[in-house]
Amino acid sequence: MAKRIEVSGLNAYYGKTRAIEDISMTIEPRSVTAFIGPSGCGKSTFLRTLNRMHEVIPGARVEGKVLLDDLDLYGPDVDPVAVRRVIGMVFQRPNPFPTMSIYENVVAGLKLNGVRRKAQLDEIVEKSLRGANLWNEVKDRLGRPGAGLSGGQQQRLCIARAIAVEPQVLLMDEPCSALDPISTLAIEDLIASLKDQYTIVIVTHNMQQAARVSDRTAFFNLAGPGKPGRMVEIDETNKIFTNPGEKATEDYITGRFG
């Protein structure tokens, strides 16, 4: 069920300004790919082009190709809504639906798309919450508001919500940046266990985290001040952190800038 993503010649714009330039890469299935790089170099923008969330912003558009296995996600008769069902997303700030209970949050994606059978939903809730390492903490209070959980629990709830619709790819934009170290560890464990089933892409500011969780790492940087961001290189995480191909990468991971 996990799928390979192949990006070629991708540019993304906000109105007239180009935010990222000419990005090409392959994201392997059943693996974790990390994006690292200084703030503002377009990691989030690029991530959002992968499930067509970029175009939700007024005036934003994308050029180039994103292939999910063989299907071009930007092809003329592809429905962006359908793309997002297949490629799920977890955001930087936990964003559970405030009017919904924990249970309702998990099934939100299914229910809003018409799955109604109670038994089936119950089963999916347990499976997703177990998958997100949250089941034991919340199984006795599924009816309580999702917004009442701690930040780390909320983020795991959001992950449960994302995997409940059984996507094939999971995109995570700095999912731990608002969390304490313990919750961060819980989420990293979770990522490790999810990668058997999903293709995972994670943006992170934390290089130790990239080194810990990812199989491959892509380094992004600005082409220059005021210029769009681009991908400098992508390689095995090991190689990026021990013997990067580019000087800029080395400078960044050794803390010389960024």
Our CB check for ligand ADP shows the closer of 54 and 195 to be: 54
- 156 interacts with, out of ligand ADP, another protein, Mg ion, none, CB within 5 to 8 A per kind: none
39 binds ligand ADP (CB under 6 A): yes
Q: How many CA atoms lie within 13 A of 52 on its CB side?
A: 18
Cα 130 to its chain centre, rounded Å, is: 19
If one asks whether residue 183 binds Mg ion (CB under 5 A), the answer comes out as no
| End-to-end Cα separation, the chain, in angstroms | 36
Q: How far is the CB of 194 from ligand ADP (least distance, A)?
A: 22
Buried b (16+ CB within 10 A) or exposed e, 224-243: eeeebbbbbbbbebeebbee
Closest approach, Cβ 205 to ligand ADP, in A, equals 8
Pick from 1, 56, 71, 192 the residue near another protein by CB under 8 A: 56
Q: Which stretch binds Mg ion (CB under 5 A): 39-47, 83-91, 96-104, 120-128?
A: 39-47
For 56, other C-beta atoms within 10 Å of its C-beta total: 10
Given ligand ADP, Mg ion, another protein, none, residue 89, with its beta carbon under 5 to 8 Å by kind, binds another protein
Q: Which is nearer to another protein, 64 or 80 (CB)?
A: 80
Q: Does 177 bind another protein (CB under 8 A)?
A: no
Locate all alpha helices (DSSP H) within the chain, ordered by sequence: 43-50, 80-86, 102-111, 118-131, 135-138, 151-164, 181-194, 207-213, 237-242, 247-253
With binding defined as CB under 6 A, does residue 40 bind ligand ADP?
yes
Among the listed residues 17, 63, 93, 151, the single contact to another protein using CB under 8 A: 93
Specify the pairing of strand 199-203 against strand 32-36: parallel
Which of 10, 27, 44, 218 is the binder for Mg ion (CB under 5 A)? 44
Q: Which two structure tokens, joined as six digits, stand for 176? A: 């731990």
142 binds another protein (CB under 8 A): yes
Backbone angles phi, psi at 40, to 5 degrees: 80, 10
By CB under 8 A, name the binding residues for another protein.
Answer: 51, 53, 56, 58, 81-86, 88-89, 91, 93, 95-101, 103-104, 108-109, 111-113, 142-146, 158, 161-162, 165
By CB under 6 A, name the binding residues for ligand ADP.
Answer: 14, 19, 37, 39-45, 57, 229
